[in-house]
Chain A
Amino acid sequence: MPTDSPSATPHPIISVERFNYAYGDHQVLFDVDLPIRSEDVTAFIGPSGCGKSTLLRSINRINDLVDSARVVSGTIKVDGVDLYSPEVDPIALRRQIGMVFQKYNPFPRSIFENAVYGLRVAGITDKAELMDAAERSLKAAALWEEVKDRLQELATGLSGGQQQRLCIARAIALQPRILLMDEPCAALDPIATAKIEELILSLRGSYTFVIVTHNMEQAKRIADRTTFFYKGKVIETGDTLDLFTKPGNKLTEDYVTGRLV
């Protein structure tokens, strides 16, 4: 029983409607209804295995890589377009909806090549243009100062936090409208985590962020809106502050107070 009705949302850029999703015969999302507002930072919280990643990965259709994954029913619309309709080109879609993974995963190539990978596969070969884009995105990811003299070095030689910021830079080099992040700080220490959070806050407003996190404090610090998932269902969604201070549901309350695991 969501506390916020979809109609109250000013402008949902993503709207998930009665979405059911399964891996083979194992259904993991049940009737998910969720509007995600443009230019907001939305956090997904919930216990392990409740389907947060699955929903996130359905939004850029990266779950198409999983053979058994399938939509059972329902839709995800982005700016009114049903993502799973045959007219949608998943490649074009992913250029507009970037993704950052839980475990930082830069390619075993140079920092520069990582930063411009998305542009290269989009067919851009102009050296100056690529260099520009690399600089712009690395600056946006607050990494430029640290790597500007070693762009040709192997990306895997960077620290974990730097690698994760490189992955963010790589995603924003394509200038997407939406950025999906699946526990982007889970593999990082507190200082690196703080840097990423700072980065998200500095980018807020230019992108629509959807972030999965297990860290309540993090959700409170960075998210405008928070959605609580439980066993494949959306239990509650609302302004972050409201959700944590006056949860409308017993489950939510138990979870945010640490009594539910």
Chain B
Amino acid sequence: MSPVSQQPASRPLGPLLLRKKGFSLFGITRASLVRRFFSAMASVAIIVLVLIMVFLLRDGAGFLSTYRASLDVYRKSGMELCDLLEQPVREMQDKSTSLLRRALAHELATLTGEAKQRRDAVVVLIGKVQAMSAPERAALEVVLTASAPPETLADPRDQLRQATSRAAMSIPIPSVLSSREVEQFRRELATLTPENTELLPMLTALEAEFARQDTAARAQFAPLSAAVAACEQAPAALYETLVPLHKHARNTKELAQKRLSSRDQPEVHFPDQLKPILDARETLLTRLDDYGSRLKQAQAALPAETRSEEAAELLAQVRELLPEQAVQTAGIREKVLEWDGMHTVSMFHAALGFCFGPHWITNSPWQDFYGVVPLLTGSVLISVIALLIATPLSIAAAVYTSQFASDREKEYIKPVIEFIQAIPSIVLGFIGIALLGDLIKSVSHWPLLAWLPGFPIEERLNMFNAGCLLALMAVPTMFSLAEDALNSVPQSYAAASEALGATKLQTVFRVIVPAALSGILAGILLGLGRVIGETMVVLLVAGNRIAIPDFGDGLGVVFQPAHTLTGIIAQELGEVSRGSGHWQALFMVGILLFIISLVVNWCARAFARRLETPKS
């Protein structure tokens, strides 16, 4: 042992163990002050969160009772009964008549197809020639608007004529036109000037020819035309009966609303008000039965034979559809009979209406509905698209960066990906509108890609477009978290794996990625949280159609426009009056969003917590 100096041992030890006097405030020491300061800062965050919840709940809480009251009036005024009858009938009607009309169009086309083609060809040709001589036309127009003396007009006009006939000579002409017609066409084209915008005589003749053939064809297909008309007319009587009832019901509703806004108004006695509508119920039901039998007549009147295959197929569909609709009619009848206008609407009914209602209809002169399903499906579909795109992208990038990239590559990959986060979402919205929308649309029109579901697409602004941009926004979050998770896998796993004869790839995919899986999942979920909450991009790019997307398209559904939970709040909150039912409904949507985000974040944390003890 080395010699120890005697000095410290000679000092008494006891006093050294006592607490020293130092700075203190009301008996609180510096250390505990600092601790309290930090704990106060931490609690601010919690308090703010609680305040937000309270605030959301305060404005949203009234929603259910307001909505219940509104639905109650809707029922007791008889509006519900009208809708019960009318809406399903209109839906059935739309379906069957559109099929029949398409069938008729195909049939007519078998006879008038050529005439129509010839007319269309000429219209297209004229358009093309005009486009080709556009510069000369513009020049002439300039001179004309300058009201120059007539003699100076001769030259530009001559040039236009020459340009037009040059274009007419060079343009390829489809074979539906005979050579004589081609000559005539070229001659007539030359007469086109800015002052002379009359239809070419040739086009007029072709139009007339088409119209004549069309009429003749319609006569030929009289049975089908009659069936179409019968189907179209089937519910006319029903609708007619409903008109005065509509008026009466709306009147009742107005009275009820007046009473609601001021106590001076007389109270509405609903049973009395409802009486005329209940009295009409029998008539309505006869009309409904009448509609059913008309459908059957239309069915019987369908021609057995068709000229075109497409029409045959469509008619087969109609033949299946009409009996189904007759059954549906019976269902409607039952519902109308069961309907009890005096049965007060319950809170539960209102809550169901919000959570599962298929319609979000506001500012309607008839009745507002706050069903969240169309918005929720929009939000969910867009998020799913975004996740499907962003997940492979960001995970692949993270795996590459953390496992394979050289230090120099890392140096630019990471900042670039993280920079995406800095792009303002409104700018991404611009990109979606100005660039991506057109791009997707034009790509979808490539004949080579026609086999893809939903292609070719018509809407520039749709869920897919929004999903792509949101994917871009989610990538940085997902990438960073996945990369962190991969980097935090102990180096010893890689060494152990390679020491057992695994290749680098095997090591990465069998050991490192599985070990980082929970971190990666947490990243995906946080990305999802970000995507669900994003507003600007979806508002600008998703197309904002408030309707449940038509899943009949299969995967093509993603190319339909939709509205979202976030988008609807941003769009409508500024326009509604504070405290109204609509306002409260928007707050409810906010609460729903809040809950979704909480759940997603909670799941993410749960996954992140599993990071320490990953399972096989």
Contacts from A to B (Cβ < 8 Å): 60, 62, 65, 91-92, 94-95, 98-99, 101, 103, 105-110, 113, 117-118, 120-122, 154, 156, 167, 170-171, 174
Contact = CB atoms under 8 A, between A and B. Distances in A.
B497 A117 contact: yes
Contacts of A170: 496, 500
Contact of B506 (A106, A113, A121): A121
Interface in B490-525: 490, 492-503, 506, 510-511, 514-515
Interface stretch (B166-174, B319-327, B531-539, B608-616): B608-616
A101 B495 CA distance: 9
6 contacts: A94-B500, A99-B499, A107-B511, A117-B497, A120-B510, A154-B616
A59 B613 CA distance: 33
A62 B498 contact: yes
B494 to A, nearest CB: 7
Contacts of B490: 105
Q: List the 6 closest A-B pairs by CB distance, nearest first.
A: A109-B616, A118-B500, A105-B492, A95-B501, A121-B502, A99-B499
Contacts of A122: 501
Contacts of A109: 514, 616
A50 B292 CA distance: 97
Output the residue of B501, B502, B613 with the most chain A CB within 10 A: B501
Nearest to A176: B501
B500 A108 contact: no
A7 to B, nearest CB: 32
Interface in B439-498: 490, 492-498
Nearest to B492: A105
A108 B515 contact: yes
A109 B515 CA distance: 9
Nearest to B500: A118
A72 to B, nearest CB: 23
Given A101-B492, A156-B613, A107 B497 contact: yes
Given A65-B498, A107-B497, A156-B613, A91 B503 contact: yes
Contacts of A105: 490, 492-493, 495-496
Contacts of B616: 108-110, 113, 154
A107 B503 contact: no
Contacts of B494: 65
A59 B502 CA distance: 17
Contacts of B506: 121
Contacts of A62: 495, 498-499
B354 to A, nearest CB: 45
B501 A107 contact: no
Given A107-B511, A108-B616, A110-B616, A98 B497 contact: no
Contacts of B501: 91-92, 94-95, 118, 121-122, 174
Contacts of B503: 91, 121
A10 B583 CA distance: 93
Nearest to A63: B495
A188 B16 CA distance: 39
Contacts of B498: 62, 65, 94
A117 B500 contact: yes
A98 B500 contact: yes
A138 B392 CA distance: 38
A99 B497 CA distance: 10
Contacts of B613: 108, 154, 156
A94 B494 CA distance: 14
Contacts of B511: 107
Nearest to B502: A121
Contacts of A65: 494-495, 498
A190 B614 CA distance: 29
A211 to B, nearest CB: 15
Interface string B195-217: 00000000000000000000000
Contacts of B492: 101, 103, 105
Output the residue of A62, A95, A105, A156 with the most chain B CB within 10 A: A105
Contacts of A174: 500-501
A140 to B, nearest CB: 16
Contact of A121 (B493, B495, B510, B514): B510
Nearest to B505: A121
A84 B515 CA distance: 32
